[in-house]
Amino acid sequence: MNPNALNFSGGPGALPAVVLDEAREALAALPETGISVLGMSHRSDWFRDLLEEAETNLRQLLGLSDDYAITFLQGGSSLQFAMIPMNFAGSRFAAPEYIASGYWSKRACGEAAKVGASRIAWDGTASGFRQLPALERLDLDPNAAYLHYVTNETVEGLQFPTCDVDMPVPLIADMSSDFLSTPINANRYAMIYAHAQKNLGPSGVTVAVIKRSMLERIPDGLPAILDFRTHVTHGSNYNTPPVFAIYVLTLVTRWLRDDIGGVHAMQVINRRKAQRLYATLGELGEAVAIHAEPQWRSQMNVAFTFGDARLDSAFVAEARERGITGLEGHRSIGGLRASLYNAVTEEAVATLCSALMEFCEERV
List residues with catalytic annotation: 104, 174, 198
Torsion of Cα atoms, 335 then 15 then 71 then 189, to 10°? -50
**Closer to ligand PMP at the Cβ: 198 or 273?**
198
> Of these, 57, 101, 176, 305, which contacts ligand PMP (CB under 6 A)?
176
> Of these, 111, 174, 227, 312, which contacts ligand PMP (CB under 6 A)?
174
Please count the residues of this chain forming the interface with ligand PMP, following the rule CB under 6 A. 11
**Of 170-178, 244-252, 291-299, 305-313: span binding ligand PMP (CB under 6 A):** 170-178
Instruction: Work out how close the CB of 199 gets to ligand PMP at its nearest, in angstroms, rounded to a whole number.
Output: 11
11 binds ligand PMP (CB under 6 A): yes
* Residues in 135-164 at the binding interface with ligand PMP, rule: CB under 6 A: 150, 154
> Cα–Cα distance between 255 and 20 in angstroms, integer?
11
Judge whether 176 and 164 are in contact, CB under 8 Å. no
Alpha-carbon distances of 321 from 115, 263, 345, rounded to whole Å: 47, 33, 19
Orientation of helix 346-363 relative to helix 263-283, angle to 10°: 10
**Closer to ligand PMP at the Cβ: 156 or 312?**
156
Site string for ligand PMP, 108-127 (x = CB under 6 A): --------------------
Instruction: Work out how close the CB of 298 gets to ligand PMP at its nearest, in angstroms, rounded to a whole number.
Output: 11
> Of these, 195, 231, 291, 297, which contacts ligand PMP (CB under 6 A)?
195
> Cα–Cα distance between 5 and 26 in angstroms, integer?
20
Mapping DSSP onto H, E and C, the string for 104-151 reads HHHHHHHHHHHHCCCEEEEECCCCCCCCCCCHHHCCCCCCECCEEEEC
291 binds ligand PMP (CB under 6 A): no
298 binds ligand PMP (CB under 6 A): no
**Of 72-80, 93-101, 119-127, 345-353: span binding ligand PMP (CB under 6 A):** 72-80
Q: Say whether 236 sits in a helix, a strand or coil.
A: coil
Alpha-carbon distances of 246 from 45, 197, 200, rounded to whole Å: 15, 11, 9
> Which has the closest alpha carbon to 344: 289, 282, 277?
277
Q: Ramachandran region of residue 46, left (φ > 0), alpha (ψ -120 to 50) or beta?
A: alpha
First to last CA, the chain: 26
**Of 58-66, 111-119, 174-182, 255-263: span binding ligand PMP (CB under 6 A):** 174-182
**Of 74-82, 211-219, 320-328, 331-339: span binding ligand PMP (CB under 6 A):** 74-82
**Closer to ligand PMP at the Cβ: 69 or 83?**
83
78 binds ligand PMP (CB under 6 A): yes
**Closer to ligand PMP at the Cβ: 11 or 326?**
11
Question: Which residues would be at the binding site for ligand PMP (CB under 6 A)?
Answer: 11, 76-78, 104, 150, 154, 174, 176-177, 195
